[in-house]
Structure 1
Amino acid sequence: MKLLLAIVSDTDRNKINLALIENGVPATIIYSTGGFLNRGTVTFMIGAEDEKVDEIIELIKQNVSSRKEVCKSTLPPALQTLFFVSKQKIEQGGAVIFVLDVENFIKV
């Protein structure tokens, strides 16, 4: 038994959730904020039999998107005028997936 923790952009939440539901994969969603641009993310918690892990990872891969977003400066406005501050486009999207061994699984 494995526990998959898939951290994805909130933008991809609905598409991934629908794909999991259509394939009979139950998941719990936890809302969070994080990442380089401090954007909204969600974490899917998925319990799965060992032989289903690759299939679930592939489902997630097929349903995440990548996009370019502007990274704004973290300098205070007063300092931004003193330094040349350029906005950069950062590649965002995809997923971070942790696969953990589960020693015991109890459903009551």
Structure 2
Amino acid sequence: MKLLLVIVSDTDKNKVNLALVENGVQATIIYSTGGFLNRGTVTFMIGAEDDRVDEIIELIRKNVSERKEVCKSTLPPALQTLFFVSKQKIEQGGAVIFVIDIEEFLKV
């Protein structure tokens, strides 16, 4: 038994959730904010048998998108001119997946 912690962008959450539901994968969803751009993220907690892990990872891979977003500086405007700050494009999207061994899984 494995626990998959799958962190995806808020933008991709509906598509990932629908794919999981359509394939009979139950998940608990935790909403959060974080990352370099301080954007909304969603963490799916999924308990899965060992033989379904690769299938679930592939479902997630097919339903997340990668995109470039403009990163705005966090410096105050007055300091931005002093430090010659420019906007940068940062790669966003995809998923971060942790696969953890589980000794026991109970539903009560």
Query: One fold, TM greater than 0.5?
Result: yes
Give distance in 2, aligned partners of 1:106 and 1:74.
45
Partner of 1:50: 50
Q: How many angstroms apart in 2 are the aligned matches of 1:31 and 1:5?
A: 13
CA distance in 2, matches of 1:105, 1:88: 44
- Once superposed, what is the RMSD of the aligned Cα atoms? 0.7
SS at match of 1:51: helix
User: How far 1:81 sits from its partner (Å)?
Assistant: 2.0
Query: 2:107 — aligned with what?
Result: 107
Q: How does 1:21-60 map to 2 (within 5 A)?
A: 21-60=21-60
Aligned residue-pair number: 108
| Contiguous gaps of at least 5 residues in structure 1 | none
**What are structure 2's unaligned runs of at least 5 residues?**
none
TM-score normalised to structure 2 length? 0.97
Deviation above 2 Å: which 4+ runs of structure 1?
none
Q: Give, as a single letter, the amino acid of the residue that structure 2 aligns with 1:31.
A: Y
User: Given the alignment of the two structures, is residue 15 of structure 1 paired with residue 15 of structure 2, yes or no?
Assistant: yes
Structure 1 residues 23-58: Cα deviation after superposition (integer angstroms, max 9, x where no partner): 000001000011111100000000000000000000
Partner of 1:5: 5
